[in-house]
Amino acid sequence: MAIALRYRQAGRIVTVFEATERVERRGHATVASRDRALLALLDELDLSAGIRWDSNITLNGTRFGALIGGRARIIETLRDRARALDVDIRLGTPVGGVATDGTGFEVNTGADTGEFDEVIMTVPSPVVSELLDPLPERERLALGTVGYVGIITVSFVINSGRVPLAAARYIQRVSRGGDHFALVDPSVLNPRDESRSGVVYITRPLAAHNELFGAGDRQVIEHFARAVPGSSDILSARVMRMPHAFAQGRLDSFTSSVPGLSIVNAAHMGGGRHHLERTAALALTAFRQLCAERIT
């Protein structure tokens, strides 16, 4: 969405197809003081005031905190900014295929077909290889073999606003039977909420083919509940899956052999502390290296 916004700001007519109709429920997104790309994006979107910093934890001079509203708040704000500039955003519209006759592109959603001068695919590499009809076999195979690491996060509503952690930290690593989790406790940033029901987030990176991505919510919740402090009473839980968060292979170029066809996804990500920072940096890099070259 950030790339679409940049294109529109440069004067292009832009249409965005998104398979989902909405993003996940609002929560908290971890932010570090060294997240330059993410902090710059939040400042541009007027969201910086929503960051609550944890004064109890620093690492090598880096502060940590949380953006209230989380990833959903960022995406919703980007959509609002894009719509205000007349970007055509079509939610709940998965793309079924992309074809070209050499002079333009035809995007098929099943219910409709649209014609466009350029196409930027932002889906995982294996999905790109399935959707793009004009892609040469060599490129299709290269995209299809890129492996991914995903992230599963389970939010637990517990019976008190603060989880009884020994160090009272916003982020803490937890190990259970050889499985490693990260526990995020937003109540650390809200000490006045101790008497209320609170939410903690347990997250874990897993290979995209891990069985938990295809398992039912009950099985996933039972697996992650082991990382919740033992004395906490769980009132409810919700599972969030992101099977293609980080690519294990790397694509060196945003462009393909098909003129006007570009690919921007996790396989282009550079270094960064976490997924949101890498995503923000990727959007900036992609526009500078790819989009800006085509806009005159």
Tell me the per-residue pLDDT of 11-69, one tens digit each, with 9 for 90 and over.
899 999 998 877 665 677 888 888 999 999 999 999 999 898 877 666 677 888 888 88
The residues with which 172 forms a beta bridge, in sequence order, are: 183
Interhelix angle 2-9/275-286, rounded to 10 degrees, is 30
Average pLDDT of span 127-150: 86
List of domains in the chain: 2-146+247-294 (3.50.50.60), 148-245 (3.90.660.20)
Task: State yes or no: pLDDT of 73 exceeds 60.
Answer: yes
pTM across the whole model: 0.80
Beta strands 113-116 and 119-121 are unpaired
Instruction: Report which of residues 271 and 136 the model is more confident about.
Output: 136
pLDDT in tens, 155-205: 998 876 445 544 467 788 899 988 999 998 877 776 554 555 678 899 999
267 φ/ψ angles, rounded to the nearest 5 degrees: -70, -10
Question: Which of 98-102, 154-158, 230-234, 259-263 has the least mean pLDDT?
Answer: 230-234
91: left (phi over 0), alpha (psi -120 to 50) or beta: beta
Two structure tokens written together for 164: 């009884």
What confidence tier does 288 reach under pLDDT thresholds 50, 70, 90?
confident
Side-chain-side CA neighbours of 101 within 13 Å: the count stands at 5
